[in-house]
Amino acid sequence: MRSFMYTIKVPVGLHARHAGLLVKAASLYQSAVTVSRGDKSADGKRILGLMGLGVRQGDVIRVDIDGPDEDVAALRIKAFLWENF
């Protein structure tokens, strides 16, 4: 399993459009992607779960990736977050 932390920088946080982009990026991989904020967690491949986390600007999320392509998925999802969030 690979994990990393990321601080959300966009002013609107993880709202519908951004959550949809993250779901699209996570869905490219076979590995399970879990996004957590505090004591809440959600499947990174499900938009409603991500939006339910209530992530705002400045919040730190944890991304856990577990599966056959976790190394590549972790690198690319982290890069995706840096470019878009």
Question: In this predicted model, what pLDDT tens digit does every residue of 49-72 receive, in sequence order?
Answer: 999 999 999 999 999 999 999 999
Q: Name every residue whose Cβ is closer than 8 Å to that of residue 72 and which is 6 or more positions away in sequence.
A: 29
Letter for the amino acid at 45?
K
Which whole number is the average pLDDT over 10-17? 92
- Full domain range(s) for residue 69: 2-84
Task: For the full predicted model, state whether its pTM sits above 0.75.
Answer: yes
Non-local CB neighbours of 3 within 8 Å, separated by 6+ positions: 62, 63, 64, 65, 74
Here the CATH number for the domain that contains residue 78 is: 3.30.1340.10
The single residue of 15, 17, 24, 40 carrying the catalytic annotation is: 15
pLDDT of residue 67: 98
| 17 — pLDDT class (breaks 50, 70, 90) | very high
What's the pLDDT score for residue 39?
Answer: 96
> Is 18 designated active site?
no
Domain count, the chain: 1
Locate 44 and state its tokens.
């990174």
- Single-letter code of the amino acid located at 17: R
